[in-house]
Structure 1
Amino acid sequence: MTISTSLNLYINGAHVPSRTSTTFPVTNPLTGEALYPCASATVADYETAIQHAHAAYKTWNATSPSARRKILLRAADILETYLNDDAPEILSSEVSAVPSWVKLNVLAAAAILRESAGLVTHIKGEIVPADRPGTTIMVLREAVGVVFAISPWNAPVNLTARAIATPLICGNTVLLKPSEYSPKSQHLVVRALAEAGLPAGCINFLPSSPADTPSVTEFAVKHPLVRRVNFTGGDRVGRIIAAWAAECLKPCLLELGGKAPAVVLEDADLEDAVDAVLFGALSNSGQICMSTERVIIHTSIADAFTTLLASRAKQIKVGNHLTDPSVSLSGLYSPAAPPRILSLIDDAVAQGATLVTGDRQITGPNGTILGVHIVDHVKPDMALFQNETFGPVLCVTRVESEEEAIEIANGTEYTLCASVFTKDVLRGMEVAKGIRAGSCHVNGPTVYIEPTLPNGGTGGRSGYGRFGGMAGVEEFTERKIVTLVKPGMRYPL
């Protein structure tokens, strides 16, 4: 498949056009050029896919654990071969991925498939003692049925794998709605699973145009045969999905935005902290929900830290990855992103913050390239401190004590992840426990996750629920009580 070839829906094991033959253009964000037409699924297509997924669930759930595991393991191997095929071109074109981000996406996705495959024989129930004579109580853990998964464009391959691998290994079937920005990148996972022998109907791929997305998403979330919903993306859409699910009293898993703080205490190793903060802030140009966006630092070391941070940041190569593959940071996902980010920076500077580095210039053929910007003396009441930038921006806030650092770290509605830097690991543990976040890393970057870890926020604008490991299994299965009663029991009435 070349990047210019059109992309269809994938329903019940076949690539098909939408019911109305409607398509939408997928564009290259860096150049603004149309890449290919993608089929736009309608409500009727979703109904068809849901019915096929429901039918497939009955047989897939009965498939042996070893058979399920083999398919996911085979898919992981197949997915890795795409690195030597069309994956680099697809990700480069759809999401401005530099070579290192392409490789990380595909390899991380393969790791997720492998780790999820390993969970299949750990989906266990339990025997519970009964007070009633002649009774055996079993608590089983069972698949729920059809799962509706929505995954984003920023890490399109691995976040797609995460959205569907655990549901599948538990015995569920899946409807996948990819982002309109990156259908082919996300289709790579579907393609690998199909090549690996996943039965028809177990995974259904349903991209939709921006115009069709609200109606099909509401339809799928509210459909009575859809038992679970998982969504990774922004909190604005997450709130809408949560509200639709609440109308049906339907569980959903939401991993939403982030505004990760890095707390740098006065005894921190500055070299290590700067390296980790820059990695956490600038991987994929800061377009990761776990990106470090806030540095909360003790006043006594703030000048030295900020100077070193700016010096290192200026060494990072920013540019057009299509003409210079050696760049570390390329274009953002939309021409609307750089002006929005710069407006937050300008607002902070107008209120007394200091622009330490960054030229405020927007470049690139479609106006999506923005250099690294570091803003010092940012106050907690500034919009730059409170709102997710999703770009190559760091704001620095100075504090006088550990207690103040924890209070300010907890001073936004985001709860996804955080970091603490100190040479005293036990002190770091105490600070980590005081920060409200789903994960907190002592002397490591905020951008860090293993496939087995229970990743997710603790409420607010970062959402709720957990992907990964047995926590993910719990999200996509139900506990069922089954009791066995000895014949001849008599009951008082």
Structure 2
Amino acid sequence: MSSTTIPLIINGEDIILPTDDHKHPLPSPSGSTPSSFQGATPALAIQAVESSAAAFPAWSQTPPSRRRELLLNLAKTLIEDEIHCTPLWSQNNIDVAAGAIEETASLVNDAATGAIPSSKGNTYALVFKKPLGVVLGIAPWNAPLILGLRAVIPVIAAGNVAILKGSELSPRTHHLIATLFREAGFPPGVVNFILHRPQDAADIYQCMIEHPAVKKCNFTGSTGVGRIIAAKAAMALKPVLLELGGKNSVLVLGDADLEKVAGEVVLAGFLNNGQICMSTDLVYVVMSVAGELTGRILELLKGEERSHKVISMASKARLTALVDDARSKGAVIHQAVNSLAEDPLAFPATVIEGVTRDMDFYTTESFGPVFGIVTVESEEQGLEMAKHSAYGLSSSVFTKDHFKALEMSAEIAAGAVHVNGGTVHDEPTLPHGGLGDSGWGRFGGRWGLEEFLETRTVVLNR
């Protein structure tokens, strides 16, 4: 039986090596054509960097109007292609990704606008915004279309050139993104695409981040890997934009609409099998309404019709250990019936009732279809607990008192706090990113474009 190989894309050309040394096999359903992807070697990684570096001078001088036109062509191409995943998540990926392209295209002119600040004496200070050069974008698998595009769209919109380093867990979708840029008419080298085998990750990243043409890296993924990305970039004196994990919390006050809270928590806790950086992990609820809210959540859990499975056996083992640890320390475990129970990667939608500080789940990001309920004596105690998480990506406050919610939101160290809404929420017009162990820097809107522009000052003396 013949096999298919997903190629790299360097300088507009598909790259497949004649030997199988760096190819990585992909899971294939029984009876289907075996498939793999071409993994990069350090030499190919450097070739991608040098191709992008060669494309940078012309692309950086491309008028913003032309960049905007090509980005809108990309949005049109994207909308007309089919993405194979669950219907809800597929449609969400398409809608958000297309919206992000269009929003970024609309901001191209304004983001590159400099300033003329006041200066002393007979001088004029001119502040220019300039693109950086080659930017490495490392995208994860869990929302491959949205996050794959996000890794490169603001980069090239700002006049830089990009290398998309895709995930070995979603190579087809990330390859699709790279091919869309060719179809939309972008010049060769403006967006290059590489993949690599898991065992080659350190060498490929090292040789790229140390190359003098690479000026910045953006990474979306786990906090553990983010630390490695940042450390190696620091040694090369390269800046990074990191959007990392989150232990996202919900604070429920006594006057909250509990029906709404339950629906939002279950949606944000289990959407995409809980494998979203903004997924709800902990629900802090005041004692006066804890029983009623827990009952409403468990009723929704009984009716949970979505089938759930996680990305790998390692993920399943980690979730199992977190749930077992909580159970051994007094928590009550509630799990939904899972239609995928026979699948090796199946993991049921799970609610941990009675989470306490001594449980591993209290501090460890679940990144699966699991969230926990913490009963607190007062809203002040709940706020204090929510404030002291090492993570700071997304959070929610549910109350009818909007002024109180605003005051509490100011004290929660998170990149976004949602009042009377779930933790899974982002829009192309908003800044998105975290604090603390959730990273630094911002994607989204003009903030995302400014991440990939440098400021230069020229002072004119009479």
Asked if Structure 1 and Structure 2 have the same fold, meaning a TM-score greater than 0.5 normalized by the shorter chain, the answer is yes
Question: 1:369 is aligned with what amino acid?
Answer: A
Change (3 A) 1:253 1:34: farther
Match of 2:381 in 1: 404
1:331 and 2:330 matched: no
TM-superposition CA deviations, 1:400-422 (whole Å, max 9, x none)? 11211111112321110100101
Q: Does the CA contact (< 8 Å) of 2:398 and 2:421 recur in 1?
A: yes
Matched, 1:385 2:362: yes
SS at match of 1:59: helix
1:217-366 aligned at under 5 Å gives the runs: 217-317=205-305, 328-358=306-336, 363-365=341-343
Counterpart residue number, 2:445:
469
In the alignment, the residues of structure 1 paired with residue 30 and residue 313 of structure 2 have an alpha-carbon distance, to the nearest angstrom, of: 10
Q: 1:176: how far off?
A: 0.9
1:9 matched residue in structure 2: 8
| Residues in 2 aligned to 1:161 and 1:330: alpha-carbon distance in whole angstroms | 26
Q: Is the 8 A contact 1:98 1:329 kept in 2?
A: no
CA–CA distance in 1 between the matches of 2:192 and 2:435? Answer: 30
Contact preservation (8 Å) 1:276, 1:445: yes
Note the aligned Cα RMSD (angstroms). Answer: 2.0
State the Cα distance separating 1:342 from its structure 2 match.
1.6
Contact 1:259–1:387 (8 Å) recurs in 2: yes
Q: Which residue of 2 aligns with 1:105?
A: 93
Residue identity opposite 1:470 in structure 2: R
Distance 2:25 2:395 in 1: 37
Q: Is the 8 A contact 1:76 1:192 kept in 2?
A: no
What one-letter code is carried by the residue in structure 1 that aligns with 2:203? S
- The two structures have a TM-score, normalised by structure 2, of 0.95
Q: What is aligned with 1:46?
A: 45
CA distance in 1, matches of 2:337, 2:364: 21
1:12–1:200 Cα contact (<8 Å) kept: yes
Contact 1:380 1:411 in 2 (8 A): no
2:130 aligns with 142
Say yes or no: does 1:395 pair with 2:398: no
Q: CA deviation at 1:212?
A: 1.3
Match of 2:401 in 1: 424
1:31 positional shift: 8.4
- Measure the CA separation in 1 of the matches of 2:319 and 2:219: 24
Name the SS for the 1:370 alignment partner. coil
SS in 1 for 2:215: strand
1:437-462: CA deviations, max 9, x gaps?
Answer: 00000000100001121110112x21
- Alpha carbons 1:12, 1:52 under 8 Å: kept: yes
Aligned to 1:184: 172
Percent sequence identity is: 39
Distance 2:298 2:267 in 1: 13
1:315-341 CA-partner distances (Å, limit 9, x unpaired): 121xxxxxxxxxx33421112222321
* Aligned partners of 2:307 and 2:340 also within 8 Å: no
| Match 1:125 to one of 107, 114, 127 | 114
Tell me, in whole angstroms, the C-alpha distance in 2 between the residues paired with 1:20 and 1:432. 56
Q: Tell me the alpha carbon deviations over residues 107-130 of structure 1, each in whole angstroms, 9 at most, x when there is no partner.
A: 211111111111111121100222
Query: Corresponding residue for 1:455?
Result: 432
Q: Deviations over 1:172-209 (max 9, x none)?
A: 00011111000111122222211010100000000001
CA–CA separation in structure 2 for the residues paired with 1:32 and 1:247:
48
Letter of the structure 2 residue corresponding to residue 37 of structure 1: S
CA distance in 2, matches of 1:424, 1:34: 58
Q: Give the SS at the match of 2:116.
A: strand
SS, match of residue 156 in structure 2: helix
1:447–1:264 CA distance, 2 compared to 1 (3 A)? same
Partner SS state of residue 333, structure 1: coil
From 164, 171, 174, the equivalent of 2:162 is 174
Give 1:32 shift.
Answer: 13
Moved more, 135-144 or 353-362: 353-362
CA apart distance, 1:356? 3.3
**TM-score, normalised on structure 1?**
0.90
Q: Which whole-Å CA distance do the structure 1 matches of 2:242 and 2:159 have between them? A: 21
> The residue matched to 1:344 in structure 2 has which SS?
helix
Q: Which moved more, 1:19-28 or 1:395-404?
A: 19-28
Structure-2 residue corresponding to 1:483? 459
Whole-angstrom CA distance in 1 between matches of 2:335 and 2:87: 26
Relative to 1, partners in 2 of residues 1:98 and 1:246: Cα closer, same or farther, differing over 3 Å? Answer: same
**3-state SS of 1:63 partner:** coil
Tell me the number of residue pairs that the alignment of Structure 1 and Structure 2 aligns: 459
Residue matched to 1:442 = 419
Name the residue aligned to 1:93: none
SS across alignment from 1:212: helix
Superposed displacement of residue 360, structure 1:
9.7
Conservation of the 8 A alpha-carbon contact between 1:177 and 1:205: yes
Q: Is the 8 A contact 2:161 2:190 kept in 1?
A: yes
Give 1:381 shift. Answer: 2.7
Q: Closer, same or farther in 2 for the Cα pair 1:173/1:471, shift >3 Å? A: same
Q: Is this contact kept in 2: 1:98–1:330, CA < 8 A?
A: no
Tell me how far apart the structure 2 counterparts of residues 69 and 170 of structure 1 sit (CA, whole Å). Answer: 10
Closer, same or farther: CA 33–350 of 1 in aligned 2, 3 Å = farther
Q: Does 1:415 align with 2:414?
A: no
| Equivalent-residue separation in structure 2 for 1:184 and 1:331 (angstroms) | 20
Q: Which stretch has the larger CA shift, 367-376 or 289-298?
A: 367-376
Instruction: Note closer, same or farther for the CA distance 1:188–1:360 as it changes in structure 2 (3 Å cut).
Output: closer
Letter in 2 for 1:450: E
Equivalence for 2:345: 368
**Counterpart residue number, 2:76:** 77
Q: Are residues 269 and 310 of structure 1, via their aligned partners in 2, closer, same or farther at CA, if it must alter by over 3 Å? A: same
Shift of residue 432, structure 1, vs aligned partner: 1.2
Partners of 1:414 and 1:254 in 2: how far apart?
13
Equivalents in 1 of 2:435, 2:39: separation in Å? 34
SS in 1 for 2:392: coil
User: CA separation in 1, counterparts of 2:246 and 2:259?
Assistant: 25
3-state SS of paired residue (2:198): coil
Paired with 1:137 and 1:298, the residues of 2 have a C-alpha distance of 55
Is residue 9–residue 193 contact of structure 2 (8 Å, CA) maintained in 1? Answer: yes
**Does structure 2 conserve the Cα–Cα contact (< 8 Å) formed by 1:126 and 1:139?**
yes
Q: Is the 8 A contact 1:437 1:458 kept in 2?
A: yes
